[in-house]
Amino acid sequence: AQSVSQHNHHVILSEAASLELGCNYSYGGTVNLFWYVQYPGQHLQLLLKYFSGDPLVKGIKGFEAEFIKSKFSFNLRKPSVQWSDTAEYFCAVNKESSSASKIIFGSGTRLSIRP
Amino acid sequence: DTGVSQNPRHKITKRGQNVTFRCDPISEHNRLYWYRQTLGQGPEFLTYFQNEAQLEKSRLLSDRFSAERPKGSFSTLEIQRTEQGDSAMYLCASSLAQSRTTNEKLFFGSGTQLSVL
C-alpha cells in the first residue's frame, strides 16, 4: 500500500531563513505528488503538484519542490521564508492511473516563523 | 461562496448516538473524498466517490461508518453508535477528475468537528 512520510513534525525558523521540508513516499510505480498547505483558520489548499516532466516544480508564494525518483522523495523548499508562511504543510501522493486512485496524505509538518 | 460546503461545522454527541454529516462539493466536480483528521496528524483517507459510485473504503473503517452520494452531487457520512475514538475533524474534498489521475487537484471544505462525550 502506498504511504507518505514526513519526518519533520515541527520546524521553527526565523524570517529570511531557507526552508526544506522532507517528504518520502513508498510506492514502486508511477506517482503524482502534491504539497498542500493549511494556514491558521483556513482550508487545506494546493501549494504545488508534480505529475510528469521537469522534476523541479514551482508553486505559489515562491515555493518549489524537487521530485527525486531514486530517493522516493519530494522535498519542499523556499529560499527565504516570511512570517506569513506559518502554516501546516502536508505532502500527498496518488498512483498515476487510467482510472481513479485515492490521494494519501502524510502526517504534516508544522512550520512556525519567528518575526 | 461556491466552494465545498460541510454541515454542521461542529457536532457534539453522546457515546452510542448516531451522527450524520453532509458535504456539498463544487457543482461540476465528479469526485468526492472523505477524510478524517486528528490533532497533529494529516488527513486520513476514509472513502471516495466518482459520481455516485463509491470506489474505495478504507480498511481502517469499521462497519459503523457508511457514506453515500446518491445522485452524484452531495454526500453524507454516517457514523452509527459513536465512540470516543471517533472524535475528530471530518473533511470533505472534491475534484474535477479526468479519466487519468494526473493533475487532480482537491478542494477542501472547512470540515465538521465531531466531539463524542
Residue A37 grid cell = 498547505
Residues A73-90 have pLDDT tens digits of: 999 999 999 999 999 999
Residues A44-63 have pLDDT tens digits of: 999 999 988 899 999 999 99
Residue in A36, A90, A100 closest to B50 by CB: A100
Evaluate if residue B50 carries a pLDDT over 60: yes
Average pLDDT over residues B81-103: 87
- Tell me if B108 and A105 make a contact (CB, 8 A cut-off): no
The predicted pLDDT at position B76 comes to 97
**Contact yes or no for A4/A33 (Cβ under 8 A):** no
Residue in A45, A97, A103 closest to B100 by CB: A97
Which residues of A are less than 8 Å from B3 in CB distance? 43
Of B11, B20, B37, the C-alpha closest to B74 is B20
The predicted pLDDT at position A29 comes to 84
Evaluate if residue A12 carries a pLDDT over 90: yes
Average pLDDT over residues B38-66: 91
- Tell me if B40 and A107 make a contact (CB, 8 A cut-off): yes
Of A38, A107, A41, A90, the C-alpha closest to B39 is A107
Distances (CA, A) of B109 to A12, A66, A72, B49: 28, 28, 30, 16
